[in-house]
Structures are given as structure tokens and as C-alpha cells.
Structure 1
Amino acid sequence: MLTRRLSGSVALLRCGRLKRNLQHGATAILRESALNISQWIILCHLRERETSTLTEMAQATDHDAGSLSRAIFALRQRGLVTAMPARDDRRSMVLAASHAGRVLCDGIEAQLTARLDGQLHAALGQEGLQQLLTLMDKAATALDAN
């Protein structure tokens, strides 16, 4: 049996394909709530962390601050995100998901779980899905170190 090392390009292609497929499945659900992927990621981040600055969010979500800022502006206009000046730095804003933002996030999460988790579970089984997530975390941690 011929074994071959995984090249960076193969890993990038496969991760890109998985990301595209996951986003495609999520986009239809998000569209019903007039959200895009970036806005969804912001709401999820704020739901998990409760509060965050733009800088913290950019680092945690691997998105650039400019695109996040535009997405946050749209979410604030809809009343899904609130912003207050930071105590220690008046130039910085502390962001939080509003009650409406958390409710919307929870509803979308339930729909995404039913659709995407069901498809992944059917293809991989519970153990395979857990292994996939564990391996993805390990790979990300290994590459973060470099």
C-alpha cells in the first residue's frame, strides 16, 4: 500500500470544500432570518462570551475588524447587538447580544443542528463526528503553534 504525506494544498482544498458545504447548508436557514454568515458568527460569539470588544472578536473568530464592524453595525440597527463604551478605553466598545439577538441565535441554532448535525451524523455516526471535531481542534492547535 502506498502512503503519502498530506500536502498543505490537499488539506486546504478539503477544508475549503467542507467549509463551503457547511456554509451552503447554513445560508438557506440564515436567509430566512435575513442574516449572513458573518452576522451569525458574531451572534454566536456574543452568546457564548456574553460580551466582547471588536478586537477580541476579530481574534477569536479569525475575521478582519473591518468586515466585523460592518456586520455589527447592521446587527445593531436591527436591535440584535448592543454596544457600550468600555470602562478602561473609551475608544473601544463592549458588544453584547441583546435579548432578541440571543432568542434569534437560539432558534437558528436549533434549525442548524437539526439539518446539518443530522446529515453529518448520518454520514459519520456519533463517534466519527466526535473524532472529526477532535482532529480538527488538534490540527488547528498544531498550526496555531507555528
Structure 2
Amino acid sequence: MPTLKLDDFLPYRLSIASNRVSSAIATAYQALFGLKIAEWRLIAVIAEGEGLTQQALGVRTQMDKVTVSRAAIALVERGLVARRPNPDDQRSHLLSLTDAGQALYENVAPKALELEGRVFAGFSAKEIVTFRAVLDRLEASAAALDPEGG
């Protein structure tokens, strides 16, 4: 019978690596912009496609409803995101960036790209292309195991 060694278990290693990268980025976003990771993710996704519901944001970011709701409330309270009625579904609202939210996005996006560059500074362009392809395959494989998960 095979023995499970956690340090050799790839899902565990992937989780540890993800947590370390997320923690480093979260520290930078909080210090520089007063944003939590969930808040930044919502801003980035809203910037890509104006007028999204919280449900759509949850699907796009793979964050749970409570996390999305809390982040959206915080962003609305800070005047970074505006809520307006959804003409297609009266039970939901459409979220879009305010002028202040757009300005923040334009300040944060270059920093996000810089942080990504620092994380992957020791990798060649070919390794990054390969890594992206492996991530795509890994996400597809995990989705096939858990079709209800997102």
C-alpha cells in the first residue's frame, strides 16, 4: 500500500505555493491600496466587464457568495463600486466601477503585473508558457472531478 507523504503530495504542494503567493500579494495590496485580495479580484473582474452581478462575480473569481458579498459591500462603502438595479432580474444588482474605482484599478493593475513579474522572475518565458498550459489542464482536470464546484 502506498504511503502518503504530505510534502510529496502535489495537491498539498500546490495549495502551499498558492497560499504563499497570495499572502505576499495580499500584504502588498493591503499596504499600498488598503485592499483585501477579494476586493481587488472584484475590482479587476468588474474592470474587464462592466455591470456584473455578484453571482457572476462569484463564478468568475471562484469565490463563495459570502466572500463576494462582503467584498462588494466594502467596495460600495468606499465609493469604488456602484450598485444599480438589474433590469433582467429584480433580485440582483449590477456592479460597476465608479470613477474612483477606475482610478484605483489603473493604479493597482501595474503593481499587480509588477508583483507577478517578481514572482516569476526566475522563470524563462518558455517555462511560463508551459506553466500556464499545465495550470489550464490542472483546472480542467479538477473541474471534471467536481462538476458542481464551479
TMscore range, shorter length: 0.7 to 0.9
- Percent of pairs identical after alignment? 22
Q: Which ranges of 4 or more aligned residues in structure 1 deviate by more than 4 Å?
A: none
Q: Which amino acid aligns with 1:85?
A: P
Deviation at 1:132, TM superposition (A): 0.7
User: RMSD between aligned alpha carbons?
Assistant: 1.8
Partner Cα separation in structure 2 for residue 139 and residue 67 of structure 1? 24
Q: Is the 8 A contact 1:76 1:82 kept in 2?
A: yes
Spell out the pairing of 1:48-87 with structure 2 (5 A cutoff): 48-87=48-87
Q: Is the 8 A contact 2:46 2:95 kept in 1?
A: yes
Q: Is the 8 A contact 1:53 1:92 kept in 2?
A: yes
Q: Is the 8 A contact 2:46 2:96 kept in 1?
A: yes
Give the TM-score normalised by structure 2.
Answer: 0.83
Unmatched tracts of structure 1, length 5 or more: 1-6
Q: Is the 8 A contact 2:21 2:119 kept in 1?
A: no
Work out whether 1:136 is the aligned partner of 2:142.
no
Partner Cα separation in structure 1 for residue 91 and residue 56 of structure 2? 14
Cα separation, partners in 2 of 1:11 and 1:99, compared to 1, 3 Å: farther
Deviation at 1:99, TM superposition (A): 2.4
Spell out the pairing of 1:1-146 with structure 2 (5 A cutoff): 10-31=9-30, 32-120=32-120, 122-146=121-145
Unmatched tracts of structure 2, length 5 or more: 1-5, 146-150
Q: Which amino acid aligns with 1:63?
A: M
1:12-43 per-residue CA deviation (whole Å, 9 max, x = no partner) reads 21221221121122123211211101101111
Cα separation, partners in 2 of 1:101 and 1:137, compared to 1, 3 Å: same
Number of the residue aligned with 2:3 = none
Q: Which amino acid aligns with 1:50?
A: E
Q: Secondary structure at the match of 1:145?
A: helix
Deviation at 1:115, TM superposition (A): 2.9
Q: Is the 8 A contact 1:45 1:57 kept in 2?
A: yes
1:70-110 per-residue CA deviation (whole Å, 9 max, x = no partner) reads 11111001111111111021111011122221221232121
Give the TM-score normalised by structure 1.
Answer: 0.85
Q: Which amino acid aligns with 2:143?
A: D
Structure with more relative contact order (C-alpha pairs < 8 Å, separation 6 or more): 1
